[in-house]
């Protein structure tokens, strides 16, 4: 019996330590944005919303959110459209070696990481004139996201019955009409999941954006935030804290949306 009680006590103590460990670094993000005089130490804030003005005063902060939207949104649209087309064709038409192809693509996407490919990607983007363009970032990140997107969407497509498509075909619908009016509505949850997943991973992404972009006018939020705390002089804590909060909220919102709506968790292989 004592062993049982001791076990319960140890478990409770462990839970308390875990909550403390994971919460401690985040307290600053909750307190500093609303503190009259934000410092690096966590303290109970003298409440104010004035710090958010700092975002508008900085020449690049607000624009970087727009850049993040362009790059993350662009990549999400490109990945969803291309992956849906490819997944549909691969699901409905039997191509010899299809499973091996998908398998190899998935293998490549987990092997060719940003770390392993940063040198050739930088070279390639330089030669194609894609340095300092939104398009460069969109194309590079999409190449890495597409294999997993095709793989997951093909699973969705395989599970939808083909009988609707067959009857639509009997009534003379063209393949593109069938895709638009029948298949896409059926797999919409899959498409939204892939879209939000692509958007969230590009929104938070750092490495490719960091090496492909130099012009501060083009930098997304992730890189602008890094320059804010690494540039010389005393860090502007009002700006860093409010910007961090503003830039984090969409990711949290996207995660909650997907996990509540589709009961989907960012599972293995999904987040890199």
Partner 1 sequence: MTTDAAGLGKARASAFVLPALALIAVFLIFPALWTIYLGLTDYRLTGLAAAQPRLVGVDNYTGALADTRFHTSLWLTVLFVGGSAIAGQAVLGFTIAWILRSRRGPVRRLVEGVVLLSWILPSSVVAFLWIALLDRSGGTLNALLGTPGFAWLLDYPMLSIIVFNTWRGTAFSMMLYSAALENVPPSHLETARLAGASVPQQLRDVVFPLLRRHILTNLLLISLWTFNDFTPFLLTAGGPEGRSEILPVYVYNVALRGGSLGAGAAISFLILLINLIMALAYLRLLRGRRRSQEAAAGGPPA
Site for partner 1 in 44-83 (CB under 8 A): 78, 82-83
Indicate the DSSP class of residue 92. Answer: H
CB 87 within 8 A of CB 148: no
Q: At what angle do helices 237-262 and 188-204 cross, to 10 degrees?
A: 160
Of the listed pieces 47-55, 56-64, 118-126, 188-196, which binds partner 1 according to CB under 8 A? 118-126
* 65 Cβ contact list (under 8 Å, min separation 6): 221, 246, 247
Interface residue with partner 1 among 57, 116, 129, 189 (CB under 8 A) is 116
Contact region with partner 1 (CB under 8 A), list: 18-26, 51-59, 190-198: 18-26
Q: How far is the CB of 174 from partner 1 (least distance, A)?
A: 9
DSSP state of 130: -
On whether the CB atoms of residues 73 and 257 are closer than 8 A, the answer is no
The Cα 158–Cα 80 span in angstroms is: 17
The residue from 45, 63, 73, 114 that contacts partner 1 (CB under 8 A) is: 114
Q: Taking the complex as a whole, how short is the minimal distance between the CB of residue 105 and partner 1, in angstroms?
A: 6
Can you name the residues that pair with 35 across neighbouring β-strands? 47
Of residues 201-260, those binding partner 1 (CB under 8 A): 203-204, 206-207, 211, 221-223, 225-226, 229, 240, 244, 247-248, 251-252, 255
Q: Does the footprint of partner 1 cover residue 85 (CB under 8 A)?
A: yes
In whole angstroms, the minimum distance from the beta carbon of 272 to partner 1 comes to 7
């Amino acid at each position: 019996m004592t062993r049982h009680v001791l076990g319960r006590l140890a478990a409770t103590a462990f839970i308390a330590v875990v909550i403390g460990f994971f919460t401690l670094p985040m307290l600053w993000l909750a307190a500093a944005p609303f503190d009259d005089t934000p410092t690096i130490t966590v303290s109970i804030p003298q409440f104010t919303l004035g710090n958010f003005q700092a975002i508008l005063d900085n020449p690049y902060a607000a624009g970087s959110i727009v850049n993040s939207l362009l790059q993350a949104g662009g990549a999400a649209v490109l990945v969803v459209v291309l992956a849906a087309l490819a997944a549909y064709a691969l699901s409905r038409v039997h191509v010899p070696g299809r499973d091996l192809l998908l398998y190899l693509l998935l293998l490549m996407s987990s092997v060719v990481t940003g770390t392993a490919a940063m040198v050739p990607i930088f070279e390639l983007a330089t030669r194609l004139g894609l340095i300092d363009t939104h398009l460069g970032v969109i194309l590079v990140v999409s190449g890495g996201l597409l294999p997993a997107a095709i793989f997951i969407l093909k699973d969705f497509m395989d599970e939808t019955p083909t009988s609707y498509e067959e009857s639509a075909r009997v009534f003379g619908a063209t393949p593109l009409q069938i895709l638009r009016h029948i298949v896409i509505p059926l797999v919409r949850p899959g498409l939204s999941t892939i879209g939000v997943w692509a958007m969230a991973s590009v929104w938070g992404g750092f490495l490719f954006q960091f090496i492909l972009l130099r012009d501060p006018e083009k930098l997304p939020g992730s890189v602008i935030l890094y320059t804010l705390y690494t540039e010389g002089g005393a860090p502007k804590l009002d700006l860093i804290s409010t910007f961090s909060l503003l830039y984090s909220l969409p990711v949290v919102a996207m995660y909650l949306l997907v996990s509540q709506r589709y009961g989907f968790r960012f599972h293995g292989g999904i987040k890199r």
